[in-house]
Structure 1
């Protein structure tokens, strides 16, 4: 029997039976709507692929019920009231395909974002809120909603849910008394300064949420499931200022006692399940947890809600470890495990787990480069490690018309991804890696315990290439002679990059970040890291957690000024963790020399002497493209991929490799 059998037992939400304990957590469906507020083909394919992969309950990303009070622009997210005929038409195609796999699907419906609307998605529309309060991102004051506008939105929820039911959705999820969205802004006293029936007491502040569920039940029937995304704690220190794990602070948002009271009221009002998380946009590394947050971070709060109310509890938040998920269900922490980003990374997660193929589950890195980061910057949902995500039909692999023997130089993520895709298309890739394992920069990068999924991705590539019978040669450097004499039809150069180094005088105690991470060099107990980019900051956290004294010297005015994480949840948390952990930081400073255990640092006209055991260089990487330069004039088909082409991140190494290999 599968050791995770308990995760494959049915569970009920109201009158809806879900075949297993897995839900697809809602994620912003940017790019998945058509101009009339329906689902476009990308959206239909995207959700269907996760149902095909075994997920019991699909919860769509946020859809709107109102585009009048809070304008969003079209197309952006689906909207069930904008053009009901188009929404029902496209929604029906979606739900029928989902149901073919014996899965269920709920439509997540939003009353609006209010003060937390992401500026790139806001356009020129003025932000609204329960009161005239400061916008989360913009230096402007939000407009207060009128009572008539609130009642209009409530009516729109009823209309939108009715159209969802017509389209075949099995239920809806209300978005949300969580994360500080518009309905949550009404519920939290910090944001709600009203003196009418929607302000003051907790019951008044929850009136908006109560009227929504009552309106939906009136329009769709008492037995139509209505669930709620709910945060019992906000982690707000102040406006635009959130708390870190382990930090002592005064909660300005919703704290646990009120979270318990509110949960009881909300269930009494008619909500059939609570989808639990914590956090807010003021502390959105809780709501969108990066790798710096522990796995399963919402479990204590889900358990609390399970003990508070008598409705099913859903729990997400880095729950991709199947042992953790099984234990959570077995011990009554939650009834359903929600997987968001893990299902972006691998839509077949549930089926692979059920059939015992856990080593073939492609891991999520919690990097948020392809999902939350791209939503934030480009209004597009994707995945860093899975180029198919949200592009399933457009990126469908086709068999090679003329199979080729392809040499791949380099076993980092670009080389491995190219080999995987080429093999799936019927080509004959032969991969050469100069070290004794696949993974490239994933190997040093994955050393800190919070980066364990980097090593998991390297292990996944090793397993998948083995399963596909790709010919792999380790401990073998590629030279020009090998490329020219092996009878290859094409060559892919993915030789990566090398750390940038410079001399500080006494270089016997000057190391690269990779040398320290891999244990090749001992930095001592007191070290200075030159470079406050992503590598330098993560290295500093890892060394500090070992009890070392760490100082970061950064030439620019702030950390992560160049090549920082795309998603603010990652970058803001990392920026806050550096001082919180007691790491010293010197910005606008440049290292001058290192001699006799003393590093001289210049800042403006001031020179400072720092006593330290070592200096670690984390000042970036340089493309290693010499092999390509020698081959390019001599071969009819040679491609340059990954860091060897342009030093970037894991996402673009994988995406570029996928693009080239899928058309070679």
Structure 2
């Protein structure tokens, strides 16, 4: 069994002793926008405290109205709000945990018309232009930070974290690219770092020595005009001198053109930037970004790059992450796969966060726990994400489950998804499902297609069909030509396509196939390959940590993507990851053609029409990614025998490889029985 002595060792931070080195990082959830918001937040954080995480960073809450993330966003600036926050702190303390309030002023990222910044200049990710704070307003904002910090302690928080990273207001003061001031808060390096130092000093003076004071520093800005490593190290020293007990590290700005937390980023990729901070100070330093397993956390601390680790999304995926590590059952950790589909993509589209692999996240009050009142014998047909998720949740409720899978292994379309460069984390998902099915005693019958006769005669109380989808084959001349293959043929290795390829369909599957045909898996597994591909200087010698250019190797294939809709290709990809996919395909010179009508496939290639003009594209293969059809053959047979089976996943709704909807639906059905 792996040794996790370092991350399980207590740590003295200021006047506080943390029971282990694992921290839940602050994240936006938008739970405050739902009904019973504080009950939801209390259940959300209380569940993670019960899971033995060493410290929870909650928030971030703005200290004033102009600093909120969006209209109605989290704001804590009045004593009238204290009782609401006490519901959260009492839940955490009652579960044996500790919680910090993060104070976050969004600066020019605030999606409100009255947003502010150190200098004028609109962020490219915001529609509003900021008002440049004058000197008096800057000092007033510092006082607002102090006010919120004091309110947080009154509400029972164990301390506060000052958010100085990710391109928010404080980070905008420290970077020359967003600070063109010539007063005491700008100009020289000393002027640019004065605002955050004054915040830390003032908060420390008001709170005294006992409550924890954490500062989150931008360890690498990934922006032209950002701070170089030498300035960041000196700044960290001064943050320590100003009174911080611990320095947390952030990576990049939200408008950076470099991915920082998606699955395409290698695990613990940013250790050089974090180590630069660690070597500069004597107080503990916390690492963050793409740390999703105990092994990665242990190795990172062992390397000397950090003293403890912050994990936000991994605590969405499994609130018992720390407890399972202590108990030595790390194979049962439901690992964050870095997909961003249910967390960041939802936040960026004004919805509440949850988790693809754990639909209970953020919805704790909606899901009953414990055993069912009556146990049933259940047959589940289909071992893809829906079938596996249902089987696990039903077995946890005490039901006797038999899972039929026609193939020789579980996984369904996950087995294709994990072959796509940047999606290797799906292996963790499959590992978790397999381990839990075994430990829960689910009967798994591999290589056994379930028949209607068997299901009808089997004495099952319920039959759940998770039989998935089949590729939709469009109807036009030559669709049966040998050059026409489906995405299943390609991703399973049944067909090895040639050097010139057309892809019909530009949804998520189409882009995944393009990545598969072009991508370099090393980029998401090796941080040095990742840095070369994205033009990153991990040592951050130049301002902002960017190099003069990216590496452009010769593409493995010539790929052309087509769609019928006359709109930009990839328009409906995930908000937080779609731009990464499109950027990589542009780098590989993929052509993208919208508004296409498909005429024929023949020996010459693909015949198509755009804007009334006919074209012929010479290609070796045409990959069909034109959607899916629900596989309901067995459903129809069973219905004809008088049973009423339940459909889940793709068998219910044939959407693209949508594990998010499938797992959510399966979980809800399992807990409703």
TM over 0.5: yes
Q: Which structure has more RCO (C-alpha within 8 Å, separation ≥ 6)? A: 2
Matched-pair contact (CA < 8 Å) for 1:65–1:81: no
| Residues 85/272 of structure 1: CA separation in 2 closer, same or farther (3 Å cut) | closer
**2: CA distance, partners of 1:374 / 1:593:** 39
1:46 aligns with 2:34: no
Q: Name stretches of at least 5 consecutive residues in structure 1 with no aligned partner.
A: 237-250
1:55 aligns with 2:43: no
For structure 1, which segment, 321-330 or 77-86, has the greater mean C-alpha deviation from structure 2 after superposition?
77-86
1:65 aligns with 2:73: no
| Residues 598/286 of structure 1: CA separation in 2 closer, same or farther (3 Å cut) | closer
**2: CA distance, partners of 1:148 / 1:622:** 62
**1: CA distance, partners of 2:670 / 2:638:** 19
For structure 1, which segment, 357-366 or 587-596, has the greater mean C-alpha deviation from structure 2 after superposition?
587-596
- Residue 15 of structure 1 is matched in structure 2 by 15
| Residues 429/34 of structure 1: CA separation in 2 closer, same or farther (3 Å cut) | closer
2:94 corresponds, among 91, 94, 97, to: 97
- Residue 309 of structure 1 is matched in structure 2 by 281
**2: CA distance, partners of 1:652 / 1:332:** 41
Deviation at 1:58, TM superposition (A): 1.3
| Residues 200/469 of structure 1: CA separation in 2 closer, same or farther (3 Å cut) | same
**2: CA distance, partners of 1:90 / 1:380:** 20
- Residue 570 of structure 1 is matched in structure 2 by 577
| Residues 660/78 of structure 1: CA separation in 2 closer, same or farther (3 Å cut) | farther
| Residues 299/558 of structure 1: CA separation in 2 closer, same or farther (3 Å cut) | same
**2: CA distance, partners of 1:148 / 1:34:** 36
TM-score of the two chains, using structure 2 as the length reference: 0.88
Deviation at 1:487, TM superposition (A): 1.4
**2: CA distance, partners of 1:471 / 1:71:** 48
| Residues 228/550 of structure 1: CA separation in 2 closer, same or farther (3 Å cut) | farther
**1: CA distance, partners of 2:115 / 2:488:** 46
1:387 corresponds, among 359, 364, 374, to: 359
- Residue 27 of structure 1 is matched in structure 2 by 27
Matched-pair contact (CA < 8 Å) for 2:125–2:255: no
Structure 1 residues 215-294: aligned runs within 5 Å: 215-236=202-223, 251-283=224-256, 286-287=259-260, 289-294=261-266
- Residue 188 of structure 1 is matched in structure 2 by 175
Deviation sequence 1:288-340 (CA, Å, 0-9, x none): x2111111122121112112233221112111233322121111011111111
| Residues 165/140 of structure 1: CA separation in 2 closer, same or farther (3 Å cut) | closer
**2: CA distance, partners of 1:284 / 1:663:** 44
Matched-pair contact (CA < 8 Å) for 2:394–2:670: yes
Structure 1 residues 599-638: aligned runs within 5 Å: 599-632=606-639, 635=642, 637-638=644-645
**2: CA distance, partners of 1:636 / 1:378:** 41
Deviation at 1:366, TM superposition (A): 1.0
| Residues 293/394 of structure 1: CA separation in 2 closer, same or farther (3 Å cut) | same
- Residue 657 of structure 1 is matched in structure 2 by 666
1:114 aligns with 2:107: yes
Matched-pair contact (CA < 8 Å) for 1:276–1:316: yes
| Residues 264/583 of structure 1: CA separation in 2 closer, same or farther (3 Å cut) | farther
Matched-pair contact (CA < 8 Å) for 1:277–1:298: no
| SS of the residue 2:125 aligns to | coil
Deviation at 1:367, TM superposition (A): 1.2
| SS of the residue 1:559 aligns to | coil
- Residue 411 of structure 1 is matched in structure 2 by 383
Deviation at 1:86, TM superposition (A): 1.7
Deviation at 1:435, TM superposition (A): 0.8
Structure 1 residues 285-434: aligned runs within 5 Å: 286-287=259-260, 289-434=261-406
1:516 corresponds, among 469, 482, 490, to: 490
Deviation at 1:368, TM superposition (A): 1.0
TM-score of the two chains, using structure 1 as the length reference: 0.89
- Residue 184 of structure 2 is matched in structure 1 by 197
Matched-pair contact (CA < 8 Å) for 2:502–2:562: no
Deviation sequence 1:387-424 (CA, Å, 0-9, x none): 11122232123533332222212111111111112112
Q: Name stretches of at least 5 consecutive residues in structure 2 with no aligned partner.
A: 521-554
Matched-pair contact (CA < 8 Å) for 1:34–1:40: no
- Residue 559 of structure 1 is matched in structure 2 by 569
Deviation at 1:227, TM superposition (A): 1.4
Deviation at 1:286, TM superposition (A): 3.5
